[in-house]
């Protein structure tokens, strides 16, 4: 069985080596760091099972390093703080940030071993790294978003209110919803909406005290919206917070008769706009590094840093697909870059490869500057009508190609079958049986 890995961080060489000798005698694998900089570098390369972290160090104190790991999504292992000048206030502060325990120097042998053993048991129950609200950034606009979410999270005197998150697709709305979930409580992202029609209240019991999340509420049809409205009115009884996200203009849909007025009213009572990545580009370098660190840990690939030019290129790039697109690009860079560092050339290669592919594979009609007549006439119509007309052409074309096979049509269109049926009904496209 692989030995458990313990990282000891202390600026006093005698204490470091004493702790190493004791823990190695117990069969643990021990690494030593003489300061916060060394500990920071080690944490980026791998995830220790437990960290013993001194509070008072010359370059950066342990509390600051603990905060840094917590804000960067890297506090995924138990950290035991150590201090020869410990106070109750310091211990409380460390625990609030996320420290597992606190040891006061000089550390008694049995106390050390018992604390490490307890921390290891806790470590086995912890998930590996995942993106959190802290990863969104430190810019003024994101800091304000976090403060508003904290205020919403703390306002539960009369039960958790439903929340509407408004922002472009891929902007990080789910991270905001996750922030509103209390520790050790249920989470359900509703993907299939049929139960909102048949038995909406049956959804609530299994997620009592938790969060129900819907990633795009505009996809619900009017009957499903009615079911969700009923569910929300009963959610307080189960202490369930309903969080819905949308990238659509719901008041406009409501004015067009496509969205329920009462549902919009109840959701609008507590609504927040989640900014697009383009609005806080200064966060992109830190966000890119955070995404990369999570991938290094989860995917088990060798650690690889970004050079400054690469981070600047990511910051200056356009991100129409928002954070979701940035996440995809970072994953691509990690998997396909060949050098010791991810460079500007790597970023350019990944960011332009699809554009180059499109340039080499233009349809003949587009090369000649021609557009199908049905699409050309759409330019004179409102966007929604033009989009519906194009979608009718699109589905009619593919229905013919797959001979009416709904499974194949769903695969070609990249849609769940339930969503596909709703879309065809919305477009008034009938499938011959």
Q: Where residue 415 sits, what CATH number does that domain have? A: 1.10.10
Give the pairing of strands 187-189 and 163-166: unpaired
Q: How many helices (H) and strands (E) does the chain have?
A: 20, 12
* Angle between helix 383-401 and 406-413 (nearest 10): 130
- Does residue 87 fall inside a structural domain? yes
Point out the domain boundary residue: 125, 145, 170: 125
Residue 392: pLDDT over 80: yes
Under 8 Å between Cβ of 332 and 367 = no
Question: Does an H or E element contain 187, and which?
Answer: strand 187-189
Q: Sorting pLDDT into bands at 50, 70 and 90, what band is 201?
A: very high
Residues 294 and 237 in one domain: no
- Distance in angstroms (rounded) separating the CA atoms of residues 259 and 384: 15
Number of domains the chain is built from? 4
| One domain for residues 386 and 264 | no
Residue 244's domain is classified under what CATH number? 3.40.50.300
Claim to verify: residue 312 and residue 417 sit in the same structural domain: no
Distance CA 157, CA 239 (A): 11
Q: Is residue 168 part of a domain?
A: yes
Q: Decide if 41 is inside a domain.
A: yes
- Across 149-176, average pLDDT: 88
Buried b (16+ CB within 10 A) or exposed e, 66-95: bbbbbbbbbbbbbbbbbbeebeeebbebbe
Verify that 141 and 268 share a domain, yes or no. yes
411 shares a domain with 317? no
Task: Tell which residue, 104, 105, 85, 81, has the closest CA to residue 93.
Answer: 81
Which of 273, 299, 315 is the last residue in one of the domains? 273
pLDDT for 165: 97
* Beta strands at 241-246 and 305-306: parallel, antiparallel or unpaired: unpaired
Report if residue 266 sits inside a domain: yes
From 125, 150, 177, the end of a domain falls on 125
Give residue 154's region: left, alpha or beta (phi > 0; psi -120 to 50).
Answer: alpha
164: three-class secondary structure by DSSP: strand
Question: Could you give the CA distance from residue 147 to residue 321 in angstroms, rounded to a whole number?
Answer: 25
259 and 143 together in one domain: yes
Residues of the domain holding 405 = 365-426
**Same domain membership, residue 210 and residue 260:** yes
Q: Tell me the per-residue pLDDT of 105-145, one tens digit each, with 9 for 90 and over.
A: 889 999 999 999 999 988 776 655 567 787 788 899 999 99
* C-beta separation of 326 from 295 below 8 A: no
CB 327 within 8 A of CB 291: yes
Q: Are 250 and 218 in contact (CB under 8 A)?
A: yes
Q: What is the pTM of this model?
A: 0.62
> What is the Cα gyration radius of the chain?
26
Burial-class residue 227 by CB neighbours within 10 Å (0-12, 13-18, 19+).
buried
Q: Is residue 96 part of a domain?
A: yes
pLDDT digits (tens, 9 = 90+) for 300-323: 667 788 999 999 999 999 998 899
Q: Is residue 220 domain-shared with residue 345, that is, in the same domain?
A: no
Least confident piece of the model among 144-148, 277-281, 368-372: 368-372
Asked if residues 284 and 143 have their Cβ atoms less than 8 Å apart, the reply is no
306 and 329 both lie in a single domain: yes
- Do residues 292 and 252 share a domain? no
> Is residue 47 located within the same domain as residue 85?
yes
pLDDT tens-digit series, residues 375-389 = 555 566 677 777 778
């Amino acid at each position: 069985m692989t030995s458990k890995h313990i990282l000891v961080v202390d600026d006093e060489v005698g204490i470091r080596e004493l702790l190493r000798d004791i823990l190695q005698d117990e069969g643990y694998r021990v690494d030593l760091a003489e300061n916060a900089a060394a500990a920071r570098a080690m944490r980026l390369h791998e995830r220790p099972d437990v960290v013993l972290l001194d509070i008072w160090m010359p370059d950066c104190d342990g509390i600051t390093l603990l905060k840094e790991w917590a804000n960067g999504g890297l506090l995924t292992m138990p950290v035991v703080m150590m201090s020869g000048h410990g106070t109750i206030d310091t211990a409380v502060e460390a625990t609030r940030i996320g420290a597992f325990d606190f040891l006061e120097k000089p550390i008694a042998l049995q106390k050390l071993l018992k604390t490490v053993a307890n921390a290891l048991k806790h470590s086995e129950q912890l998930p590996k790294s995942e993106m959190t609200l802290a990863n969104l950034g430190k810019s003024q606009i994101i800091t304000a978003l976090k403060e508003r979410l904290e205020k919403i999270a703390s306002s539960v005197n009369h039960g958790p209110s439903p929340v509407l998150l408004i922002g472009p697709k891929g902007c990080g709305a789910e991270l905001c919803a996750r922030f509103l979930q209390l520790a050790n409580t249920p989470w359900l992202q509703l993907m299939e909406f049929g139960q909102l029609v048949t038995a909406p209240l049956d959804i609530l019991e299994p997620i009592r005290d938790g969060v129900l999340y819907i990633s795009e509420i505009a996809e619900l049809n009017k009957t499903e919206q009615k079911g969700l409205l009923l569910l929300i009115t009963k959610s307080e009884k189960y202490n369930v917070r309903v969080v819905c996200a949308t990238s659509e203009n719901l008041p406009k849909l409501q004015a067009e008769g496509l969205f329920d007025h009462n549902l919009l009213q109840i959701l609008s009572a507590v609504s927040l706009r989640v900014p697009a990545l383009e609005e806080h580009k200064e966060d992109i370098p830190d966000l890119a590094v955070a995404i990369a660190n999570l991938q290094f840990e989860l995917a088990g690939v060798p650690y690889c840093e970004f050079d400054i030019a690469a981070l600047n290129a990511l910051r200056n790039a356009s991100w129409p697909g928002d954070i979701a697109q940035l996440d995809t690009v970072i994953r691509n860079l990690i998997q396909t870059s060949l050098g010791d560092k991810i460079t500007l050339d790597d970023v350019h290669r990944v960011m332009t490869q699809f554009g180059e592919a499109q340039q080499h594979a233009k349809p003949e009609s587009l090369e000649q500057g021609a557009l199908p007549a049905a699409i050309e006439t759409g330019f004179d119509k409102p966007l929604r009508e033009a989009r519906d007309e194009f979608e009718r052409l699109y589905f009619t074309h593919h229905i013919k190609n797959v001979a009416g096979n709904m499974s194949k049509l769903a695969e070609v269109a990249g849609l769940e079958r339930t969503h596909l049926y709703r879309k065809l009904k919305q477009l008034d496209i009938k499938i011959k049986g």
